[in-house]
Amino acid sequence: MDLLAAHWMIASERHRAARHIGSTRPARQAGRSGADMFKKFGARAAIVGATAALAVSGLAGTAQARDGAPYIGDGYANNTTAVWCVQHIINNWKAGWGPGAPQIAQDGVWGPQTRQAVIDFQNAFTSNQVDGVVGPRTGYALLTNDPSDSYAGHGACYAYIPSTSGY
């Protein structure tokens, strides 16, 4: 029997079964009342709604990543991307000194060279907070130092560098 004949046979059986009952509508499942079916539908709708709410709230939480960006430096759980951002922005600042300006590795690893570069930056841009740690004041100075740097400002590094409130 080919596929078309099998399909026609199944359709014919369904049609005969529906004619036998006297209706083309599928028969209600045996033993289930309308109230039971409504309860089951309501429970399923509640589960789908709760799942959708959790998914939306999970997505909304990621939009707040900027608030409370952690400090960066010795003694902190340094995020590799955050350290890379600090290294990148400081290298851009040092590149403004001219050819041959000292650069630090942009490897995302916090170490003595990155700490010293932060201290140099703090000496140039912050008045009394020279500790080699990127906190809100140093972070603000880093983010606002070079408006042409697409990683600084409200660019790609904004979510990783702590800054003063309102920025």
What was the pLDDT predicted at 73? Answer: 96
**Residue with token string 């000194």:** 97
Phi, psi (degrees; rounded to nearest 5) at 72: -125, 125
Tell me which residue of 32, 54, 36, 56 sits closest to 44, measured CA to CA.
Answer: 36
Q: What is the dihedral of CA 62, 68, 73, 77, to 10 degrees?
A: -50
Domains of the chain, CATH where assigned: 3-62 (no CATH), 67-167 (1.10.101.10)
Tokens of 140: 């603000």
Q: What is the pLDDT of residue 78?
A: 95
Instruction: List all residues 6 or more positions away from 78 whose beta carbon is below 8 Å from its beta carbon.
Output: 72, 110
49 vs 163, more confident? 163
User: Could you tell me which of 103, 107, 108 has the C-alpha nearest to residue 92?
Assistant: 103
pLDDT of residue 88: 96
pTM beyond 0.85, yes or no: no
Note the pLDDT tens digit of each residue in 97-121: 888 889 999 999 999 999 999 999 9
Residues 44-88 pLDDT 10s: 655 655 555 555 444 433 323 345 799 999 999 999 999 999 999
* CA 67 and chain centroid, separation: 13
* pLDDT score for 79: 95
Question: Do the beta carbons of residue 163 and residue 145 sit within 8 Å?
Answer: no
Q: What integer best gives the mean pLDDT of the chain?
A: 76
pLDDT in tens, 141-159: 999 988 888 888 889 999 9
Angstrom distance (rounded) from CA 6 to CA 12: 10
Mapping DSSP to helix (H, G, I), strand (E, B) and coil, where does residue 6 land? Answer: helix
- Average pLDDT rounded to a whole number, residues 29-48: 60
pLDDT for 59 equals 42
Tokens read off for 19: 């004619």
